[in-house]
Structure 1
Amino acid sequence: MGFKAAALQMRSGTEPARNIASMRELARDAKAQGARYLQTPEMTGALMRDRDALRAILQPAESDAVAAAAKELAQELGVWFHLGSTAIARPDGKVANRGFLFAPDGALAATYDKIHMFDVDLDKGESWRESSTYEPGRCGLVTEIEGAKFGFAICYDLRFPQLFRAEALAGAEVLTVPAAFTRQTGEAHWHVLLRARAIENGAWVIAAAQGGVHEDGRETYGHSLIIDPWGRVVAEADGDEPGVVVAEIDPAQSAAARAKIPNLKNAREFTLEQVAAEAVRGAAS
């Protein structure tokens, strides 16, 4: 049995209330299209470069307005609602980039904190240091939704295939990658990385994205995607405008792809040997 999944593409600004209103509108649209699982992008609640301004609006998970709205939507619409992530104040005074999964009855089913921090220096002077604000997560996550096993990740986690491989080996048939990819990196790598994670793990990939020019000045790539276990793009947002993409998810296609190319079973342990170039030349002579 399959089910419809939706990726909600957003353009989150600096005001959580406006972002919540946009999330509600898109979620109701997705439900009207028959979706049973809804995913929003990374940092749904607010995209804000100013760290002091961000910390000023942070709340712990139990009193966060964005998480509360996601819970209400799950219950109102009777869907699995995956809040891709939002910034959360941790009890230790640090900040988590946290995703939330709410069941159709509104119960909190799972949370996931982004593991890999986007600390990079790109071309054109674009530089990011997530580790200066956020505390990395320590634990991957696999859980069941609509009879399928889902693995969780957030944005920059996409570049660490070992996370997705561990989730696939744990049975994940659907991999989730809510994101706020920059336009620069998205144009270069978004499609190829997401398709690679689908192909190498024989899994569906659902990736809701931020898109467009945001209030804080950043620019994100958009192109929210749903990809099947053979690596085919079955749904894609048109550019960077807010909207919804929906596709039918059939978990059996994951088993079929893995039966054709059983690389998860065929993997072998190996050791890595490093040999000096001089030794190689000497052996050749």
Structure 2
Amino acid sequence: MGVFRAAAVQMRSGMSPERNAKDMEALVREAAGQGATYVQTPEMTGAMVREKDAREKLFVSEDRDVVVATARRLAADLGIFLHIGSTAIRRADGKIANRALLFSPKGETLASYDKIHMFDVDLDHGESWRESAAYEPGTQAVTAAVHGATLGFAICYDLRFPQLFRAEALAGAQVLSVPAAFTRQTGEAHWHVLLRARAIENGAFVVAAAQGGQHEDGRETFGHSLIVDPWGRILAEAGHDRPGVIVAEIDPAQSAAARAKIPNLKNAREFTLADGAGRIIERAEA
């Protein structure tokens, strides 16, 4: 298990998967040109589409998806691990998954992860989202090996559910991924602090490739892709919402060192939750 260079690709995906695939290829090649051998793209790399009828026309099965085909080819051409943060994939049952995919340096599919937590929220100023109306949630957390390190998968809103990251860290993940399309409103308030918190509490690197800017379908995302080390320090940041690439060195030994200093994964204990009269309300696992 050695040091490797990771990149987060920041995009501003529109409504055309073909155009987005070309934009993705240019940015991934830029990242590889900077020495990155693990490259992550943001949530909804393939298309950002709010309108239901448009989604029905655009989103296809994995074997027909242009972003998947482009990523597979790119990974093999460049000899890198290419992590598509997510793209919309039509499942065999006709439902649509918000799916992350990891390709090996040979272009093989190493892992896939369907976003578990759906962004169903009502924000200030009338901003409202119902992701569950468009996508079928996943049910399984996933880890995979990258350069001998263990990578844990998550997508965007998953960031607000620390139990997912804790489970992956307990399974050995030294690197946690959070490709995202955070809204500008929520990103300005919470993006940095949540990513740093997930890194600190799990003693793990966090790589978070983001969508940024005003999108063709009308939504606005925060950008500010980040790479954070296991001590919570920001190693690289796109300090804007424009397309671009950030790169940082990942040394899995730093995860072990952080966990040795603050062994909270090992020190966690089971407990019960009781009311004021001492009656047990709930039992919690460590």
TM-score by length of 1: 0.96
Aligned-partner Cα distance in 2 for 1:52–1:88: 15
The residue aligned with 1:67 is 68
Aligned-partner Cα distance in 2 for 1:99–1:193: 20
Displacement after TM superposition at 1:238 (Å): 2.1
SS for the counterpart of 1:88 is strand
The residue aligned with 2:30 is 29
Question: Quick one: percent identity of the two aligned structures?
Answer: 70
For residues 168-194 of structure 1, the C-alpha deviation after alignment (integer angstroms, 9 at most, x for no partner) is 000000000000000000000000000
Larger Rg belongs to = 1
Aligned-partner Cα distance in 2 for 1:169–1:199: 14
Q: What letter corresponds to residue 126 of structure 2 in structure 1?
A: G
Count how many residue pairs are aligned between Structure 1 and Structure 2: 277
The residue aligned with 2:113 is 112
The residue aligned with 1:275 is 276
For residues 66-108 of structure 1, the C-alpha deviation after alignment (integer angstroms, 9 at most, x for no partner) is 1111101101110000000000111111100001000000011
Aligned-partner Cα distance in 2 for 1:185–1:55: 28
Q: What letter corresponds to residue 225 of structure 1 in structure 2?
A: L
For residues 190-240 of structure 1, the C-alpha deviation after alignment (integer angstroms, 9 at most, x for no partner) is 000000000000000000000000001100000000000000000000210
Aligned-partner Cα distance in 1 for 2:79–2:212: 27
The residue aligned with 1:76 is 77
The residue aligned with 2:254 is 253
Displacement after TM superposition at 1:52 (Å): 1.2
SS for the counterpart of 1:272 is strand
Q: What letter corresponds to residue 137 of structure 2 in structure 1?
A: P
The residue aligned with 1:281 is none
Displacement after TM superposition at 1:163 (Å): 0.1
Aligned-partner Cα distance in 1 for 2:101–2:174: 19
2:142 matches 1:102: no
List aligned pairs for 1:71-220, cutoff 5 A: 71-220=72-221
For residues 18-68 of structure 1, the C-alpha deviation after alignment (integer angstroms, 9 at most, x for no partner) is 111110110110011000000000000000110110111111111111111
Moved more, 171-180 or 60-69: 60-69
Displacement after TM superposition at 1:154 (Å): 0.2
Give structure 1 stretches of 5+ with no counterpart: 277-285
Q: What letter corresponds to residue 33 of structure 1 in structure 2?
A: Q
The residue aligned with 2:55 is 54
Aligned-partner Cα distance in 2 for 1:53–1:143: 33
SS for the counterpart of 2:25 is helix
Moved more, 263-272 or 51-60: 51-60
